[in-house]
Amino acid sequence: MHDMLFNFLDLMTSLFLFAVGCIVVWIVYMYIVDKHQQRHAIRHNYPVIGRFRYLFEKQGEFFRQYFFAQDREEMPFNRAERSWVYRAAKNVDRTVSFGSTRSLSPSGTILFMNHPFPTLEEDACPVGEITFGQTLPHPFTTAAIFNISGMSYGALSARAVLALSRGAKQAGCWMNTGEGGLSPYHLEGGADIVFQIGTAKYGVRDCEGQLSDDKLREIAAHSQVRMFEIKLSQGAKPGKGGMLPGAKVSAEIAAIRGIAQGQDSYSPNRHPDINSCADLLDMVSRIRRVTGKPCGFKLVVGFSQWLDELLGLIAAQDEQLGPDFITIDSADGGTGAAPQPLMDYVGLPLQESLPLIVSLRHKHGLDKRLRIIASGKLITPGKVAWALACGADAVVSARGNMFALGCIQALQCNKNTCPTGITTHNPKLQQGLNVDDKAQRVANYNRYIHYGVGLIAHSCGVGNVRQLSPQHVRIVTDNSMSEAMDKLYQHYH
């Protein structure tokens, strides 16, 4: 027994010395490499030790998120916002105590004006339905206020798309396909679907990459596909197309998108066949005529003078020809990977562009004919209620529903290393995403958005969330005093 113990200790000592020797050799090797390379000054001047800079820089994102950042500090979404979404998705207690951590003094802060005689529960009205494309053979009628914005299969994993589809069906809302085409995973859940047509015409393109009427009819033949949306631009990258690396273009994705397997696929930065307002309206009319279903377009508002001309042309057209809706995306980013200059500097945020479009719609007498859908960081009931008060008919969100799926804001959407299995095609990472569980969370989140918006509406004294208007909102200005929203935006009228 004594000999066995001695032999064991001797073996462990040898292994320890071997490990120490390997570490010493590695350090010496790294020292030589760092001292002789000329690309990195820190590594050259501080061999080996300088390498820790990259480790600390990478880990800083996670330490700030969990240990150092305050509840309302982080970007693009702070801990308080994410925490509410997580609790709603898990169907656990969403109340807070001892006061809000939300500061009420910064410029732009939204404040809802509670009524002295709020709406009693028995006086509350059901959310009213709205109809897109009333004159078309296949109009779309829905009561959903909050819906799932465009996220492509390819950008998202199959499990993530399937969970979103099932969750949307349970919640009674629609989901947008994103520009990557209609996949089986969109259809399998049974949800209402908005088919997005991007600049590369994925899913509805012919062999030359042009819009195909036959493919449009093929997509429209699916009863779940309720509307079509032409994407002019998106919040993450206004004015730029995308690139899908050939390594990600599997046989399945190639078939869905109508592109060559294994080859890089580029999306133009705009539709080559849309060069003017008239061209845009022609494409809308073509899609409505071929499919018999509602069609609109999505954009980030930037240069805005053309919008007055566009809505004037819509008003002058026969109702059978004009678009059924406009989706307004905010310039403060989105789910798509994009160059930082575009993400940080290009386009108008939603708090400016939404009131502008609403006022132009009213100016041209299109209030009943043209629906407005708002998109862009609207992931909590308060922000959704603000959009409705501005005049939006519906709201869509991508990142809110990603949080409901379990997204932890790891900021790795573009690297195929998403730790939650949402934006990766790595089978091992996808295994952690339980479709049934996440579908239920998506449904819970969407239901509690509707419930929370209802709480705000009833506090303001209205019986229906669609009755919220600018008179119910005040916005804090530069002097930390609030001003009525309709007065603040009167220059739009």
pLDDT in tens, 177-225: 998 899 999 999 999 999 999 999 999 999 888 999 999 999 999 999 9
Share of the chain above pLDDT 70, in %: 85
pLDDT in tens, 356-366: 999 999 999 99
pTM for the whole structure? 0.84
CA pair distance 365, 330, nearest whole angstrom: 24
Q: Is the pLDDT of residue 267 over 60?
A: yes
Residue ranges of domains in the chain: 2-68, 121-492
Q: Is the pLDDT of residue 255 over 60?
A: yes
Sign of CA dihedral 254, 376, 426, 428: negative
pLDDT for 226: 97
Mean pLDDT value across residues 378-397: 94
pLDDT in tens, 14-30: 888 888 888 888 888 88
pLDDT for 65: 56
Q: Which CATH superfamily is domain 121-492 in?
A: Aldolase class I (3.20.20.70)
pLDDT in tens, 227-244: 999 999 876 666 666 777
SS3 167: helix
pLDDT for 95: 73
**DSSP state for residue 410 in the 8-state scheme:** -
pLDDT for 55: 64
Q: Which ranges in 172-263 belong to alpha helices (H)?
A: 184-188, 213-220, 251-257
Higher pLDDT, 423 or 68: 423
Closest by CA position to 373, among listed 330, 404, 337? 330
Mean pLDDT value across residues 309-325: 87
